[in-house]
A and B are shown apart, each in its own frame.
Chain A
Amino acid sequence: MFRPSTFLIDKEIRQKKFANLLSTITFFLFLPALIIIFWLFIKGYPALSWSFLLDDPSSGMTKGGIFPTIVGTFWLVIISVIVSCPLGVLAAIYLSEYAPDNKMTRLIRLAILNLAGVPSIVHALFGLGAFVLFMNMGTSILAASFTLAVMNLPVIITSTLESLKAVPHSFREAAWNVGASKLQTIRYIVLPNSYPGILTGLVFSVGRSAGETAAILFTGVAFYLPFLPQSVFDQCMALSMHLFTISTQVVGVPESYPFATALVLIMLILSVNSVAVVLRTYFRTKRKW
Chain B
Amino acid sequence: MKKKIQVKDLTVSYGQQDVIQNLNLDIYQNEVLAIIGPANSGKSSLLRSLNRMTDFIPNAKVTGTILLDGENIYDDEDSTFLRRRIGMVSPLPVGLPMTIKENVTFAPRMAGCNDEKELDSIMEDCLKKAALWDEVKDRLHTLATKLSGGQQQRLTIARALSHHPEVLCLDEFSIAIDPVTTMKIEAVLHELKKNLTIIMVTNVISQAKRLGDRTAMMLNGKILDLDVNERIFGDQVNDSRTKDYIHGVFG
A contact set with B: CB distance below 8 Å: 100-101, 170-181, 184, 188-189, 193, 287-289
B81 partner residues in chain A, CB cutoff 8 A:
179
The CA of A170 and the CA of B93, in the complex, are separated in Å by 9
Residue of A nearest to B85 (CB): A179
The CA of A177 and the CA of B106, in the complex, are separated in Å by 11
Binds A, one of B11-19, B94-102, B237-245: B94-102
B6 at the interface (CB under 8 A from A): no
Given A178-B163, A180-B107: A288 in contact with B143 (beta carbons within 8 A): yes
The CA of A114 and the CA of B107, in the complex, are separated in Å by 42
Seed contacts A170-B90, A174-B96, A188-B106; 15 additional CB < 8 Å A-B pairs = A170-B92, A173-B53, A174-B90, A174-B94, A174-B159, A176-B53, A177-B53, A178-B160, A179-B81, A180-B80, A181-B80, A184-B110, A189-B96, A287-B97, A287-B98
B162 at the interface (CB under 8 A from A): yes
B156 partner residues in chain A, CB cutoff 8 A:
174
The CA of A178 and the CA of B107, in the complex, are separated in Å by 5
B204 at the interface (CB under 8 A from A): no
The CA of A171 and the CA of B51, in the complex, are separated in Å by 17
Closest 7 CB pairs of A and B: A179-B84, A178-B107, A179-B83, A174-B94, A180-B110, A177-B88, A289-B145
Residue from B51, B106, B160 within 8 A of A175 (CB atoms): B106
Residue of B nearest to A168 (CB): B94
Residue from B97, B98, B110 within 8 A of A178 (CB atoms): B110
Q: Are A288 and B92 in contact (CB under 8 A)?
A: no
Q: Are B83 and A176 in contact (CB under 8 A)?
A: yes
A177 partner residues in chain B, CB cutoff 8 A:
51, 53, 83, 87-88, 90, 160
12 A–B contacts, CB within 8 A, in A order: A170-B90, A173-B90, A174-B96, A177-B53, A178-B83, A179-B163, A180-B107, A181-B80, A181-B110, A188-B106, A287-B97, A287-B143
Residue of A nearest to B143 (CB): A288
B113 to chain A, nearest CB (A): 12
Q: Are B97 and A289 in contact (CB under 8 A)?
A: yes
Which residues of chain B (142-169) have a CB below 8 Å from chain A? 143, 145, 156, 159-160, 162-163
B51 partner residues in chain A, CB cutoff 8 A:
177
The CA of A170 and the CA of B53, in the complex, are separated in Å by 12
B90 partner residues in chain A, CB cutoff 8 A:
170, 173-174, 177
Which residues of chain B (103-129) have a CB below 8 Å from chain A? 106-107, 110-111
A175 partner residues in chain B, CB cutoff 8 A:
96, 106, 110
The CA of A100 and the CA of B95, in the complex, are separated in Å by 28
The CA of A136 and the CA of B156, in the complex, are separated in Å by 57
B110 partner residues in chain A, CB cutoff 8 A:
175, 178-181, 184, 188
Most buried by B among A100, A173, A174, A193: A174
The CA of A179 and the CA of B79, in the complex, are separated in Å by 8
B115 to chain A, nearest CB (A): 18
Q: Are B97 and A173 in contact (CB under 8 A)?
A: no
The CA of A188 and the CA of B110, in the complex, are separated in Å by 9
Q: Are A101 and B58 in contact (CB under 8 A)?
A: yes
Most buried by B among A179, A181, A184, A287: A179
Given A288-B143, A288-B145: A178 in contact with B159 (beta carbons within 8 A): yes
The CA of A188 and the CA of B58, in the complex, are separated in Å by 23
The CA of A184 and the CA of B81, in the complex, are separated in Å by 13
Q: Are A171 and B97 in contact (CB under 8 A)?
A: yes
The CA of A250 and the CA of B162, in the complex, are separated in Å by 72
B92 to chain A, nearest CB (A): 7
A255 to chain B, nearest CB (A): 54
A47 to chain B, nearest CB (A): 49
A170 partner residues in chain B, CB cutoff 8 A:
90, 92, 94
A67 to chain B, nearest CB (A): 45
The CA of A193 and the CA of B84, in the complex, are separated in Å by 24
The CA of A177 and the CA of B87, in the complex, are separated in Å by 7
Q: Are B106 and A180 in contact (CB under 8 A)?
A: yes
The CA of A193 and the CA of B145, in the complex, are separated in Å by 13
Residue of A nearest to B98 (CB): A287
Q: Are B97 and A288 in contact (CB under 8 A)?
A: yes
Residue of A nearest to B144 (CB): A289
The CA of A177 and the CA of B58, in the complex, are separated in Å by 17
Q: Are B58 and A100 in contact (CB under 8 A)?
A: yes
The CA of A101 and the CA of B110, in the complex, are separated in Å by 28
Q: Are B111 and A179 in contact (CB under 8 A)?
A: yes
B56 partner residues in chain A, CB cutoff 8 A:
172-173, 176
B153 to chain A, nearest CB (A): 12
